[in-house]
């Protein structure tokens, strides 16, 4: 069995090939500036909505990576309440969701504060308010006191994917990590976010929840990189999409002798992809704002308003008369009248795809 990275002397003196990561690192920095510029062009409420969406996705998707499905509306409501965002349709949230949200907001809103073991213990306790992870009782709000293996497979046929640092070394290794986190100012915070994620996952200091806390640490450093608590993209959403590759790269680099080029390459590409998703989303928001500005004096009823907004926000499937009727809870005759009215006004048009029933799209605005 190949040695684990932490079995090498001075294993945290990580190295990487600057040339290999320079191009993608440059693209990430460019995208960062572009997104901030785009967001500043938005109105206050659109900007708030974009922040709320990014933070909600981050919380939901980070848990989904661990196989836990959180209620999107509850998460969104919890974040909106805590940030004082006046959002429509708020619902009560469970104690568990409140805890997960608390951790994420502490990381991203108070990004400039030092990261301490006490703060990490608070995050851990917030993640596991009952002291249980599923049916299992775990050690909460402190570093693990046992050894840690990541195993899969049936009993007797277990496969060990990773054996973490020995328990007795967790505290000294975490002290070293936190000292680097708080005091190393030589590195760009984007690179630091990649290293921090990997380093924390290798130590695996808690009984459970290491992945989610590792991703919160990443978000904290990315907020530092931008000098802003406003989040406009979700790294966790992208990690979920690229999960297979995420684990493959981790598995490979955990056996390196200190060279983490492959990990940083993957991390930066993943970050770039997360930003591209946001760039497209922002284009939609800007188009939507522009559309309503142009049509502020056009007579548009509430049903039409709902569907037009849905088309800008990313409509699921094709817009047919039957779908319009179902969404707005009216007869197909009323739906058709609504549609025809918008066609006459030049807002909707036939998509010209042929077939038995007509599909409609927005005519003035092209959305990629």
Q: Which residue has the higher pLDDT, 348 or 313?
A: 348
Backbone angles phi, psi at 139, to 5 degrees: -80, 120
Distances in Å between the Cα of 1 and the Cα atoms of 4, 68, 155, 193, 255 are 9, 32, 21, 29, 9
Please state the domain extents for the chain. 5-280, 295-362
Mean pLDDT for 189-194 is 98
Q: What's residue 366's pLDDT?
A: 52
Q: What's residue 274's pLDDT?
A: 97
pLDDT tens for each residue of 64-102? 999 999 999 999 999 999 999 988 789 999 999 999 999
pTM above 0.85, yes or no: yes
Q: Which two tokens stand for residue 194?
A: 């990649």
pLDDT tens for each residue of 24-43? 999 999 999 999 998 888 88
d(CA 49, CA 86): 10
Q: What's residue 200's pLDDT?
A: 98
Mean pLDDT for 263-277 is 97
Q: What's residue 76's pLDDT?
A: 95
d(CA 141, CA 136): 15
pLDDT band at 368 (very low <50, low <70, confident <90, very high): very low
Q: What's residue 133's pLDDT?
A: 92
Mean pLDDT of the residues in the chain: 93
Residue % of the chain over a pLDDT of 90:
81
- Any idea which fold 295-362 has? Arc Repressor Mutant, subunit A (1.10.10)
Asked, colleague to colleague, whether 5-280 and 295-362 share their fold, the answer is no
- Any idea which fold 5-280 has? Fic-like fold (1.10.3290)
**Sign of the CA dihedral running 72, 74, 79, 80:** positive
pLDDT of 349 above 90: yes
Which distant-in-sequence residues (6+ apart) come within 8 Å of 38 by Cβ?
279, 282, 283, 286
pLDDT band at 302 (very low <50, low <70, confident <90, very high): very high
Mean pLDDT for 187-214 is 97
pLDDT of 365 above 80: no
Smallest Cα–Cα separation from 62: which of 10, 127, 118? 127
pLDDT tens for each residue of 205-246? 999 999 999 999 999 999 999 999 999 999 999 999 999 999
Strand partners for 362: 348
Residue % of the chain over a pLDDT of 70:
98
Strand partners for 261: none
């Amino acid at each position: 069995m190949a040695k684990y990275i932490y079995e090498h002397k001075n294993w945290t003196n990580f190295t990487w090939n600057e040339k290999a990561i320079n191009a993608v690192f440059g693209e990430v920095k460019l995208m960062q500036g572009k997104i901030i510029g785009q967001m500043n062009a938005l109105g206050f409420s659109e900007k708030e909505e974009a922040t709320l969406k990014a933070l909600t996705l981050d919380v939901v998707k980070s848990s989904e990576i661990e196989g836990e499905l959180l209620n999107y509306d509850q998460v969104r409501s919890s974040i909106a309440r805590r940030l004082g965002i006046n959002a429509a349709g708020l619902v009560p949230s469970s104690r568990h969701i409140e805890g997960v949200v608390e951790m994420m907001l502490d990381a991203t809103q108070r990004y400039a504060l030092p990261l301490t073991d006490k703060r990490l213990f608070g995050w851990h306790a917030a993640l596991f308010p009952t002291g249980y992870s599923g049916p299992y009782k775990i050690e909460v709000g402190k570093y693990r006191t046992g050894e840690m293996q990541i195993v899969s497979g049936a009993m007797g046929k277990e496969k060990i994917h990773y054996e973490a640092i020995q328990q007795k070394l967790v505290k000294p290794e975490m002290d070293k990590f936190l000292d680097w986190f708080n005091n190393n100012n030589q590195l760009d915070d984007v690179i630091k976010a990649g290293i921090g994620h990997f380093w924390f996952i290798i130590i695996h200091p808690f009984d459970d929840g290491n992945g989610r806390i590792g991703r919160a640490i990443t978000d904290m450093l990315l907020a530092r990189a931008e000098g802003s608590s406003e989040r406009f993209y979700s790294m966790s959403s992208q990690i979920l999409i690229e999960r297979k590759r995420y684990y493959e790269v981790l598995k490979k680099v955990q056996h390196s002798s200190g060279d983490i080029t492959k990990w940083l390459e993957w991390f930066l590409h993943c970050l770039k992809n997360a930003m591209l998703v946001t760039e497209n989303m922002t284009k939609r928001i800007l188009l939507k704002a522009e559309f309503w500005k142009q049509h502020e004096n056009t007579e548009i009823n509430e049903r039409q308003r709902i569907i037009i907004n849905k088309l800008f926000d990313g409509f699921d499937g094709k817009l047919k008369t039957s779908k319009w009727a179902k969404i707005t809870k009216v007869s197909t005759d009323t739906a058709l009248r609504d549609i025809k009215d918008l066609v006459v006004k030049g807002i909707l048009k036939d998509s010209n795809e042929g077939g038995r029933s007509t599909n409609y799209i927005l005519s003035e605005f092209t959305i990629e």
